[in-house]
Structure 1
Amino acid sequence: MTDDRRTVLRGRYLSLGFGELFAAVVFIGVAFISVLPLLERPSDGLAFWSALVPLLAILAQAGVYWLLARRWVKQRTMPRGLASVYRGFRVLDAALLLAGLVGIIVWFPAHPFAAIGIPFVWLLGVIEYVNYFVVRLAYPPSVWFQRIGEWRTPRLMQDVQAAFGS
């Protein structure tokens, strides 16, 4: 692979990394400015955080991954120690999503907006989890329907597998 291709990928990874971290910051901002003030009961807030925390964790992990991946893209494999951390995140994030679902059920909000919005936030976390740890879901809109059926392994998991030679 040429240095030009590596440079292009490093730029793309930089954009993806900052994009995921920025998305997490936006979700936090929207939570404090727009959502939390509307929730009437303390349990509504607990349900909301049950949905949001897993999403924020996955976005932050993904953002850090893309930024770190700039170091090894097209030159070597992901460091084994980091690959082990992301293997752990795969399990931890699934547990966070499950705990978040339990929290949403236990503290299900009474407000109609929250009753719809909170499960939607949790579902975004599930989608991000699947996209990073199970099967690639992110494609440009023009080719999404053509590519989604390929069931490709996400780049993160390719890097984790390559680190262990599998």
Structure 2
Amino acid sequence: MPLGQGRREALRRRYLSLGLGELTAAGVFSLIAWSTLTPRWSSREATTLWWALGPLVLVLVQAGAYWLLGRSWVGRGRMPRSVAGAYRAFRVLDPLLLAVGLVMILVRGGEGPGPLVLTLCVWAFAALEFVNYYVVRLAYPLTSWTREVGRWRSPRLLQDVRQAEQTGRP
């Protein structure tokens, strides 16, 4: 059911904010790793960090693109099936990349515990971002987080993918 113009425009602004926020986060994480951590760490530790950071940046870029693309259908229609197909593929590929990343982190390790712990934290954050977008919604305002997270709601992205599958739209 189409929304009123005012509500639709409010959602479009929210989607713009969320999309740009996720893309900015991906850029900031990459920039900090590249400019600050990588030069200070050994080559082995820096490479290991990127096995964690790669999946994180990938999920953040997918999320940012989703929110920005969603501005075209929010309040008017459904996600195009072609876009839904891409996100269905990401839902399968991302866990594989996370698994490969974790194996590489554990195999390569590091020369000290600090870089390894930070790298594992980055990997865990990537895994949580994946879960938040593709499995169960985890992101809520702090004031309502404990109440809302226990409801095990489907993420908006997953809802849009499922709705797209229910239509004959190309």
- Could you tell me the TM-score, scaled by structure 2's length? 0.95
Cα drift, residue 44 of structure 1: 1.2
- The aligned residue for residue 64 of structure 1 is 65
Structure 1 Cα separation of the partners of residues 64 and 8 of structure 2: 19
Structure 2 spans left out of the alignment, 5+ residues = none
Contact 1:83-1:163 at 8 Å conserved across structures: yes
Cα drift, residue 38 of structure 1: 1.7
Contact 2:37-2:46 at 8 Å conserved across structures: no
Structure 2 Cα separation of the partners of residues 63 and 101 of structure 1: 24
Structure 1 stretches of 4+ moved >2 Å? none
In the TM superposition, 1:97-108 aligns within 5 A as 97-108=98-109
Tell whether 2:115 aligns with 1:114. Answer: yes
In the TM superposition, 1:110-149 aligns within 5 A as 110-149=111-150
RMSD of equivalent CA atoms: 1.0
Q: What percent identity do the matched residue pairs reach? A: 47
- Could you tell me the TM-score, scaled by structure 1's length? 0.97
Tell whether 2:58 aligns with 1:82. Answer: no
Contact 2:59-2:126 at 8 Å conserved across structures: yes
Paired residues, what number? 165
Structure 1 spans left out of the alignment, 5+ residues = none
Cα drift, residue 74 of structure 1: 1.1
Tell whether 2:159 aligns with 1:158. Answer: yes
Structure 2 Cα separation of the partners of residues 116 and 55 of structure 1: 16
Contact 2:52-2:105 at 8 Å conserved across structures: yes
